[in-house]
């Protein structure tokens, strides 16, 4: 059978799917879980090797089903709910009208108050989180650039499904997932250090990790936090 990039195949389990993905930079066939989309992704370095990726996925069927069925339930952004900002819970409060979401406090603590209803409310809250993410990530990026004596870079904020950030040293751009703003500040700082260090070493060699260590100390706790809690961050707004 001829498989193609982006094709979805059904898995055992109601509504579960395997998405095929070609990544020319991949060194090997791999399987990852897209927590937001609720599907597994079989990655191959070329389209002709997608058949091998499918065969490998079939040998990991039980693991895939366990991971997909264990993913956190969606956390809609709606009045009365909560969302984390810099690791701290913020209650969501309807403000009436159509005003943008803003940070505030009431007698019970910090809140995010926003206008809009339904999807409009959720979108305004997400826009606030993205603004906060941009502010915090640019600030920490600039700190690490100065430490390494690096020139400025262009920073963009996105909503990546599988990567918390990416760096392109050749055109000096760094891209971050806004969702990391919900993590503790030390985790966000680790992500900024991780991407800035790629301006020095465009790989994950021991020399690269030595640069990260010089910037923030031992990165292991922060990597572990993202591994343990990343699916929950991707569930926000779903």
Give 15-32 pLDDT, tens digit per residue.
678 999 999 888 899 998
Per-residue tokens: 30 = 């791999």
Query: What percent of the chain shows pLDDT beyond 70?
Result: 96
Which residues touch 78 (CB under 8 Å, ≥6 apart)? 92, 118, 121, 122
Q: Which residues are CB-neighbours of 6 under 8 A, at least 6 positions away? A: 19, 20, 21
Q: What is the pLDDT of residues 47-76, one digit of tens each?
A: 999 999 999 998 888 888 887 777 776 789
Residue-level pLDDT at 74: 74
pTM to 2 decimal places: 0.76
The lowest-confidence range among 119-128, 137-146, 157-166, 176-185 is 157-166
Structural domains in the chain plus CATH codes: 8-69 (no CATH), 82-235 (3.30.2010.10)
Higher pLDDT, 71 or 14: 71
Q: Which two tokens stand for residue 37?
A: 């989309």
**Given a cut of 70, is residue 13 above it in pLDDT?**
no
pLDDT for residue 147 is more than 90: yes
From the number of C-beta atoms within 10 Å of its C-beta (0-12, 13-18, 19+), residue 200 rates as: middle
Q: What count of residues does the chain have?
A: 238
What is the sign of the dihedral through the CA atoms of 7, 10, 16 and 20? Answer: negative
- Give CA–CA dist 37/161, Å, rounded: 8
The beta-carbon contacts of 197-200 under 8 Å, at least 24 apart in sequence, are 197/144, 197/148, 198/167, 198/169, 199/145, 199/148, 199/150, 199/153, 199/167, 199/169, 199/172, 200/148, 200/150
Cβ atoms of residues 120 and 140 within 8 Å: no
Q: E strands within 99-185?
A: 102-106, 109-114, 154-158, 165-168, 173-177
Strand duo 30-34 + 39-44: pairing: antiparallel
Share of the chain above pLDDT 90, in %: 71
């Amino acid at each position: 059978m001829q498989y193609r990039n982006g094709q979805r195949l059904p898995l055992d389990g109601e509504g579960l799917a395997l998405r095929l993905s070609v990544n020319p930079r991949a060194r090997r066939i791999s399987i990852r879980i897209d927590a937001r989309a609720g599907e597994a992704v079989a990655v191959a370095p070329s389209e002709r090797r997608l058949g091998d990726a499918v065969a490998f996925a079939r040998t990991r069927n039980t693991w895939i089903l366990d991971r997909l069925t264990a993913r956190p339930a969606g956390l809609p952004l709606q009045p009365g709910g909560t969302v984390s900002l810099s690791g701290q819970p913020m209650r969501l409060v309807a403000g009436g009208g159509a005003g943008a979401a803003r940070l505030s406090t009431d007698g019970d603590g910090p809140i995010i108050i926003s206008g809009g209803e339904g999807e409009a409310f959720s979108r305004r809250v997400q826009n606030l989180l993205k603004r906060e993410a941009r502010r915090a990530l640019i600030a920490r990026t600039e700190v690490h650039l100065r430490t390494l004596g690096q020139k400025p870079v262009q920073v963009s904020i996105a909503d990546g499904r599988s990567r918390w950030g990416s760096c392109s040293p050749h055109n000096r751009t760094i891209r971050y997932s806004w969702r990391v703003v919900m993590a503790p500040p030390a985790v966000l700082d680790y992500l900024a250090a991780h991407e800035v260090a790629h301006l020095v070493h465009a790989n994950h060699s021991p020399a690269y990790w030595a640069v990260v260590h010089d910037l923030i100390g031992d990165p292991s706790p922060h990597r572990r936090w993202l591994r343990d809690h990343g699916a929950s961050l991707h569930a926000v707004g779903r």
